Structures are given as C-alpha cells and as structure tokens.
Amino acid sequence: MTIGQFLFGTGVLHSVEKPSRYIGGELNQVKKENPQVRIALCFPDLYDVGMSHTGFHILYSLFNQNEAVACERVFLPWMDMIEKLEKSDIPLYTLESLTPVKDVDMVGITLQYELVYTNVIKVLQLSKIPVLSSDRTQNDPIVIGGGPCVSNPLPVKDFFDAFFIGDGETVYEKIAEIFRSTSCREERLQLLSKTPGIYVPKYYSTIKVTAQKVTDLDRYSDLTRQVIPHFEVVHDRAIVEVMRGCNRGCRFCHAGMFYRPVRERDPKNIIDNAMKALKNTGYEEISFLSLSTLDYSELSVVLDTLMPYFRENRISVSLPSSRVDKFGIEITDKLGGGRRAGLTFAPEAGSQKMRDVINKGIDEEEIFEVVQTAKQRGWNKLKLYFMIGLPGETYEDVKAIAELCTRVKNRSKIRDLTINVSIFVPKPHTPFQYARFEEMQSISEKIRILSEVRKRGMILKVHDSRMSTLEAVMARGDEKLGRIIMKAALGYNAIFQQWDENFDYDKWMHVFEEEQIDYTWYLRERSTEEELEWEFMSCGVSREFLISEWKKSQEPSLTPDCRWSKCSFCGVCFDTDGKIKVIKK
C-alpha cells in the first residue's frame, strides 16, 4: 500500500482528529519534482504548533530558494494517526510529496523545548530510521538538530548525526552545497563537521563550536509567502520579523543569551515585507515579531506608515511582547482601536530585591504607573507574569508577589486580574546556569503562599512544578540521559510530554529508578570553578561575562541594556569580528 492509497483509499482521514494535518496542499506550499536534494524539515510536535513557529517558516523558505533543493515539512502526528500508521505499517511522510521521511537526504529537527525529546524518538521510529545514529547506514538520511536546545545537545546526542547552533541564514547554502556535492553519507558528515557552527559528534575535536549569527537581516527576505494552514492553528496570522535578539539581560533568560545581540531590520524592509505578506497570505492580522518588539527603535516609523492602510482594510496588529512601561500602553492603545481585550506584563518578581537579582530593571512605581495608565485608557483585564524558585528567593519574597498584586488591584481597580506563575529552571549559557533547582517541598510551600491571592478576587495559574523539574534535568543533562529518554519513549510511550494532559511524572520516575540514575544530581547548584558539560558549545557570550553576572545577582546589582548604555562586554560582538552593530540611542 502506498502512502497515497493509505490516506485517500482506506478512509483513514475520516477516522482521525483534524485530518487536514496530514494531507498537505496548503496555499503557498512549495512542491518540486525530482530535486537533487530532498530535505524533511521536522517540528517534533503537532502540526498546529509547528505551523505557528516563525523559525520553521524561515528555514522552509530559505532552503526552497535553491532550485536543486526540495524542503518539505513533517510533524509528529497525534495519537490516533500514530495508531493508524503503525497498524498499516506506513512510514511517516512529508506533506508536500508524501515521500517517506526515511527516503530523504536530510532530516532537520528543531529542538525548541526539552520536553519534546521523546517526540524526536517517536518521529524517528515512525519514519523507520534507526533511533541511534551509530546504527544508521549509507541508505539512511542524515539527522541534524537545531534550535535553542542545541546549546546543550548532550541528552540527545546519540540520536542525531549532527547539530547546528546559530541562525539558519548563515548555513543553509553551505548545507545545500555539501549535499549536492556528494551522495556519500560519510563524506557529507565529514564536510559538515568542518562547517562553522556545526557539531558532528562522530568527528568532534576539542575545538569549541560557536553559534553563527546573521550580521544583516535585511540581506534575507522575510516571510512574505508563508504556508497557510488548512485550519486555524495556535498563531494564525501573517508574520514579519522586525529584529532578532534582546540585550535587556534578564539573568534567567536563555533566549536573551542565545539570540544575542540585537539586530534590527530597516523600517523600509519591514514595511515592504508587511505589505507583501498580507497580499500573499490573505490574512487580516499581522504580527511584528521579536523577543521584545517594543524595543525596536523605529517602531513608531513603521506603525505611522502602515496604520492608515491597516485601518482602511481592517487589519489587526499583534505585538507579542510587552514591556512594563507607559510606552507599551501607548502603543497597545494605538493599535487596539476600540477593543480592550486585555494586557499582559511580566514583572517576574514581587520584591525589588528579586527584580534586581534577575536584572529586570523596573521598580514598583513603574508597575503601578503602567497599570493605572491601562485602567485610565479603558482596560479592565490584566495578566501579570511572575517566577518563583529564583536564586536567593525567600518566602518573604514570594509573599511580596501576593502583596504587590493586591496593591495593583486595589490601586488600579482593575476588575479582572490573573496571576501566572512559572517555576524557575536554570538554563545553560545563562548567568543562572550555576543555580540549583528549587526543592519540590519548598516550591509547594511557595505555591501555598501565593494561593492567598485567590481569596482576594484574583485568578492564580501555576505551572506544573513536576514538568519544570523534568525540564531542569534535561536542560543541564549529560549523555546518560539518552537512555532515559529512549526508554521513556519506546518503553513507556511517554510522548507529547510538553502537553499538560499527557505529562506523566510517574513514568519518568520509574525509568530513572530502573536505569539507576539519580535525577536530583542534575538539579544541584554548580560552582563557577566547575567545567560545565555543555561549554564546548557557545552562544557567543563569554564564560567570564556569565560568571560576572552570576556574582552581580548575589550582591545584587544591575547591568544596563547595552543598546542604550555602555557596552557590557558580554563577548558576542567580538566573537563575530565586530560586524554586528549594536544600536545605541
């Protein structure tokens, strides 16, 4: 039975949830006949999530600009479709040409968060590709990992042939050239191992692998022709990237270090891309995307130019980042028209001490000012994001969150106030990579303290601390965790663990016990004198800077944003030969 017969001749699409996840044929998809190189770009999660990810769309567009390369998409099917594939012995396939993933030249898997690691195993198993890279032969595709989790690839090292760290724009042409130049698997791996930013475990020497960063975003066309899903997905709108990176320097933030430094697009480029994207997609909503869009220095120019057209054509605008200041309110008010759906801000901590520890750089009066401004302009729904379990945090600091929220509600008279709380997870290549993960008993007590806000008329939502525990283990894990991940996936079917309704903490605890690995060892505090397992990978930020920031958090003292202040000597600009321009005010 062919894949086409399986899909359209057996009635399988009538018996699974959202069958359009599995058929391809969307507007703006790229399908090529008889390409020289075929790449399967994989997001190891549901179609609904993967099709919402900007980086996935960027890579798809970049690779398909090469006439000799066909880049096609693959996602992990939902449970019902997995059962159908396995029962009929049908391999996982690409959406564009229904090609079995095992028959492509390269599988590129993006690793956006640690809890998808078991999903990767399931993708390989469904594709009939040997799970362990050491078992693959000439006829198997080369499996390459990318994305933020590659900053510590050790837990999944055994499942990948290679990893790339950095911006895809810097390497896609080289990868295409390598795969066109030879069909020999070993030669391809050898050539990849000599490419900056690529780590091939089989050929690794002691040289550090440093992230490759784009120095000029305007050299690359933005997402003016993104693939349009058949149904509404998580983020269903046109996307324009306005800048990349964030220099605000929150010490817990992996993205802030991984994507450093800030690189802005020219406003004319953004305006042109926005108009093309709306024309080519038919969307009535557009998102100006970055880690902190309100920090884009030419945002007012872009909005002043585009807003008349947007209003005339009823195009709504999304800015998926909101800093805690009056400028954010003014811009949001300008974009919102008559709507007052709700605002989101992230003070992160309740006490000034803890905000200084994490280098947030805001005080309580600024928080009150922005909330009162929001209320005056008609907003009555507000979400505040906080984090508990941070280094040096006491129960008094947690009480300060509840007290701050109470004062915000009382002073502003905001009717609908939601408090979202996450658990701090120490991440590699951040100043807080040295911190310990909070003990479960202490986390439980802190959650109990925060629960008081419910009695004061506020909604409290707290992230599952057990999920955060597993994330913390994986984030700073080593090669030993490979067998944990493999056994959890293949022995216990622990997939889609990033979804609350599927997460099964007990399964993981059984696997750790059976493999006789003490997971708490990965949660301990690290010494700055210790050689960290993941330091052979580099985001470009120096070890000295990270240690300095860790020590400053213990004083605590602030490090200003180098875009508007003096250089903080993090090292990233020097690692790119000074070619990256850090914009000063």
Q: For residue 425, count other CB atoms closer than 10 A to its CB.
A: 26
Average pLDDT by stretches of 10, the chain with 585 residues: 93 95 96 97 97 95 96 98 97 98 98 98 98 97 98 98 97 98 98 97 89 93 88 91 92 96 94 95 92 89 93 87 65 62 84 97 89 82 94 98 94 90 98 97 97 94 97 98 98 96 96 98 97 96 97 96 87 62 43
Look up tokens 């895809």; give the residue: 168
Please check whether residue 36 lies inside any domain of the structure.
yes
pTM to 2 decimals?
Answer: 0.95
Question: Rounded to 5 degrees, what are φ and ψ at 116?
Answer: -90, 0
Please check whether residue 200 lies inside any domain of the structure.
yes
Please check whether residue 174 lies inside any domain of the structure.
yes
Please check whether residue 109 lies inside any domain of the structure.
yes
Q: For residue 138, count other CB atoms closer than 10 A to its CB.
A: 8
pLDDT at 220: 87
CATH number at residue 30: 3.40.50.280
Domain carrying residue 145: 3-210
Please check whether residue 567 lies inside any domain of the structure.
no
Report the chain's C-alpha Rg in angstroms: 24
Please check whether residue 291 lies inside any domain of the structure.
no
Pairing of strands 381-388, 416-423: parallel
The predicted-structure confidence for 55-78, as pLDDT tens digits, reads as follows 999 999 999 999 999 999 999 999
List of residues 6+ apart from 206 with CB closer than 8 A: 536
Which segments of 195-252 are extended strands (E)?
198-199, 209-210, 238-241, 243-244
Q: Are 404 and 365 in contact (CB under 8 A)?
A: no
Q: How many domains does the chain have?
A: 1
Please check whether residue 77 lies inside any domain of the structure.
yes
Alpha-helical segments (H) within 429-584: 440-450, 465-475, 481-492, 505-514, 543-553, 572-575
The predicted-structure confidence for 518-545, as pLDDT tens digits, reads as follows 999 999 999 999 999 999 999 999 999 9
Six-digit token pair at 385? 């994001």
Six-digit token pair at 157? 């090292």
- The helix-helix angle for 465-475 and 505-514 (nearest 10°) equals 40
Please check whether residue 452 lies inside any domain of the structure.
no
Q: Are 450 and 460 in contact (CB under 8 A)?
A: yes
